[in-house]
Amino acid sequence: MLLASLVRRHCPRSVLFVFSCLLGLAACEPNLVEPAYYGTLTVTVLDGSTSQPLANVAVSTTPATGSYVTDAKGQLTITQVPVGTLSVSARKAGYDATSSSATLTAGQTQSVVLLLNKTTASAPPGAPVRPTPTPGATAQPTTLQLAWHPAAGALPADSLKYDVVLYEGSNLNQRQLLTASKDTTVTASGLRYNTIYYWQVTVRNPAGATARGPVWSFQTVSLPDNRYLFARTVGGNTDIYSSDAAGTTVVRLTSAVTVETAPQLSPSRDLIAYSSNASGQFQLYTMNRDGSNQRRITTLSAEGYSNAGIGYRWSPDGSQLIYAHYDQLYRINRDGSGLVLLATAPAGRHFRECDWTAQNGGRLVVQTIGSLPYDAELYLYNVDGTGPVLLVGNLPGRLDSPSFSVDGTTVAYTRDVAGFNDVGGRQLDSHIFTQKLNGSSLVDVSSSTSGSTKATGTNDLTPRYSPTGYQLIFVNRSNDDIAAPQVWTCDLDGRNRTKLFDNAFLPDYR
Specify burial of residue 454 (Cβ count, 10 A radius: 0-12, 13-18, 19+): buried
| Residue-level pLDDT at 20 | 47
Query: Which residues touch 64 (CB under 8 Å, ≥6 apart)?
Result: none
The β-bridge partners of 496 are none
Average pLDDT over residues 462-466: 98
The last residue of one of the domains, among 220, 249, 277, is 220
Domain shared by 341 and 381, yes or no: yes
Domain shared by 251 and 295, yes or no: yes
| Residue-level pLDDT at 197 | 95
Let me know if residue 2 belongs to a domain: no
Domain shared by 157 and 293, yes or no: no
Let me know if residue 14 belongs to a domain: no
The last residue of one of the domains, among 181, 202, 220, is 220
Domain shared by 151 and 299, yes or no: no
CA distance 72 to 490: 81
CA distance 154 to 369: 72
Average pLDDT over residues 424-442: 96
Tally of structural domains, the chain: 3
Specify burial of residue 27 (Cβ count, 10 A radius: 0-12, 13-18, 19+): exposed
Let me know if residue 26 belongs to a domain: no
| Residue-level pLDDT at 34 | 54
Q: What's the full length of the chain, in residues?
A: 510
Let me know if residue 181 belongs to a domain: yes
Query: Which residues touch 500 (CB under 8 Å, ≥6 apart)?
Result: 228, 245, 247, 473, 486, 487, 488, 489, 507
Domain shared by 194 and 241, yes or no: no
Domain shared by 154 and 64, yes or no: no
Measured CA distances, 352 to 345, 369, 425, 477 (Å)? 10, 7, 14, 21
In the 8-state DSSP scheme, what is residue 319?
A: S
Domain shared by 479 and 355, yes or no: yes
Query: Which residues touch 120 (CB under 8 Å, ≥6 apart)?
Result: 96, 207, 208
| Residue-level pLDDT at 26 | 44
CATH code where residue 474 lies: 2.120.10.30
Backbone angle region of 395, left / alpha / beta, with phi > 0 → left and psi within -120 to 50 → alpha: beta
Parent domain of 413: 228-509
Compute the radius of gyration of the chain from its Cα atoms.
47
Average pLDDT over residues 2-6: 42
Give the phi and the psi of residue 362 in degrees, each rounded to 5. 95, 130
Q: Which amino acid is at 48?
A: G
In the 8-state DSSP scheme, what is residue 191?
A: P
Give the phi and the psi of residue 103 in degrees, each rounded to 5. -115, 120
Domain shared by 112 and 195, yes or no: no
Domain shared by 340 and 435, yes or no: yes
Query: Of 454, 508, 499, 505, nearest to 484 (Cα)?
Result: 505
CATH code where residue 93 lies: 2.60.40.10
Q: With both helix axes pointing from N to C terminus, report the angle between 13-28 and 2-10 in degrees, rounded to the nearest 10.
A: 160
* Structure confidence by residue, pLDDT tens digits, 215-271: 999 999 999 999 999 999 999 999 999 999 999 999 999 999 999 999 999 999 999
Let me know if residue 5 belongs to a domain: no
Domain shared by 146 and 283, yes or no: no
9: three-class secondary structure by DSSP: helix
* Structure confidence by residue, pLDDT tens digits, 12-23: 444 444 344 444
Domain shared by 62 and 133, yes or no: no
Q: State the Cα angle at 219 between 175 and 128, rounded to 5°.
A: 60
Average pLDDT over residues 81-109: 87
Average pLDDT over residues 266-295: 96
| Residue-level pLDDT at 19 | 40
Residue 192: CB atoms within 10 A of its CB come to 17
Let me know if residue 497 belongs to a domain: yes
| Residue-level pLDDT at 32 | 53
Query: Of 114, 119, 16, 4, nearest to 59 (Cα)?
Result: 114
Contact 321, 331 (CB under 8 A): yes
Let me know if residue 31 belongs to a domain: no
The last residue of one of the domains, among 220, 243, 263, is 220
DSSP annotation string for 27-67: HHPPPP-PPP-EEEEEEEEEETTT--B--S-EEEEES---E
* Structure confidence by residue, pLDDT tens digits, 167-207: 998 777 789 999 999 999 999 998 989 999 999 999 999 88
| Residue-level pLDDT at 2 | 38
Domain shared by 233 and 199, yes or no: no
This prediction has a pTM of 0.71
In the 8-state DSSP scheme, what is residue 95?
A: B
Let me know if residue 17 belongs to a domain: no
